[in-house]
Structure 1
Amino acid sequence: MSTNKLPHEVHHQVLSEVIKFGDDLFEKYKESKDYSDTYSMVIVSLFRKTIELSNGIWVCSDYGLRTPSDLNFRGLIEAYLTIKYITNVPSLSNDRAIAYKVGYLKHQLDASKRYLDDPIMEDDQKNFLRQSIQKLSSELNNKEYEKVLEEYNKLQKRNKKGYIPKWHSLFGGPASINQLIKELEKSSEDPKLLEDLYSFLSIDAHNYMALRDMSTVLKDESPHLNSVCYLTNSDIDFHLNSASVLLMHIIDLFTKEIYPEYTNECAKFLNSVFLKYGRVLEMKLLF
């Protein structure tokens, strides 16, 4: 590969190749597998989400949009953490997948009930919501979810405001995303890596970083705000390299967990990326 391209173009190309492989893998899995069981359904849905978020980073970098790139990357980290936590302890994986799905159903049910009380809602919209409520309630009565649903309801009753608990907090699990990270850090090679990154991105997500886009060209000049769209040849990498490597980790985890017959092909692709770009990119998580 030619090394005379701008670093942004190289990072952009790597992420594009990793996304394409992941997307092809996702489509092949859908065509050849039955993912109607809860565990497979949750993992493959999360895998799809990571490809979508990686595409978001790729598009944001193309348009020089720094903050949306940060938010997509934060979402990618959260999706990775979710997959990692669900699969981390094999004996608990199915219950954790059920907890994730039941949490989704409860939030959908709660939202539908709230919207149903909206006085400006049209009759056809209300009928649609009533059907949704009936369908969601019926699905929650699945015997497979009984133990998890009981735990959800118990924790929700304890909450003073009746909030639905975090899916990962069930059965004594981590109560927050930061606690979840600390739980996973116990088996991490660099225990502070993800925590430090998540803390940084959380600040930006809550709009504490707006002044980051204020700069002074010369010492004696007044500060000015940068344009909304940064030049793609600037020093900002839009998380392209980090997203590529994180998505590669996710692809590897996905194949090992629910698509083992694709493990060899996956390994070949990952090795080819390292061989092709290893001298140009520092192929590790650059946070």
Structure 2
Amino acid sequence: MPNDDTARLTSLLDVLSSLGTEASTTDRGDLDLLGTEELVRRMNEEDHRVPAAVGERGSEIAAAVDGITDRFRRGGRLIYIGAGTAGRVGVLDASECPPTFGTDPSMVVGLIAGGETAIRSAVENAEDDLHAAAASLRELGLSERDTVVGISASGRTPYVVGGLRFARDEGALTVAIASNEGSEIGAVADIAIEVVTGPEFISGSTRLKSGTAQKLVVNMLTTLSMIKLGKTYQGVMVDLLATNEKLHARSIRTVTQLAGVGIDEASAALAAASGSVKLALLILATGASADAAATALADADGILRNAIASLS
């Protein structure tokens, strides 16, 4: 009779064998014999499957964007949870929101199994802790105004499963991003975004197509919700934070292009607006003072198009 360890291992192997992300294909037995250009061609061919797979989940992604946007408007946050590559994808997306959209760092948060160390190095067994994500979410003071997005290629990572269960019980909106249909995290979450990317180029290496799909989805979740919040205007970032020389130059370029003015006028407007691209554009579009423009922008919930209309 098998011991408990053997039984658990057998059960895990059975689960893994059922996952498309763990599958092997019969056409890759010669990869180590191929020339570099052929390897590039084959891997690129495989990667081309990802955008189409993401597109098949358009309805679910749209529902998640609307839910996230609604909660942002009520003062809520977007919190990613994941382990390994999936956790790093969430942390990356969260870290890019403040410079891109001028958001407070607390508005979009990335939690990774194993903590900060795991961003750069593997932390053994961290993903198997069913209670760790819940503890971190509790420390953040999770509420029903928040959205928790769990990311897991397999769709069964205990860290993510436990976090989503806790978030659901707290009344937060829960979203699952997985690379297999009928996933465990999909069953737990309010919205399941199951992007079926199929077998990886290297069997089981879910940093490849699965990771790419995760990045494409989280790009949509934040970018599209920020568009709906008025963080862009005519497809341009107007709430970016000019934290370096490149971004300062981009701010001036944005104002010159959208307002149709020269560099000196753009620089003067930005100075009057304390560096705010959005406010500078409103001043130039309406001729309003900085104070009046700031008031109009606040009354328009930060949506530049509506603020311009109110002052015109």
TM category (shorter chain) comes to: under 0.3
Whichever structure has more strand as a proportion of its residues is 2
* TM-score normalised to structure 1 length: 0.25
Q: Which has the larger radius of gyration?
A: 2
TM-score relative to the length of structure 2: 0.24
Richer in helix (by share): 1
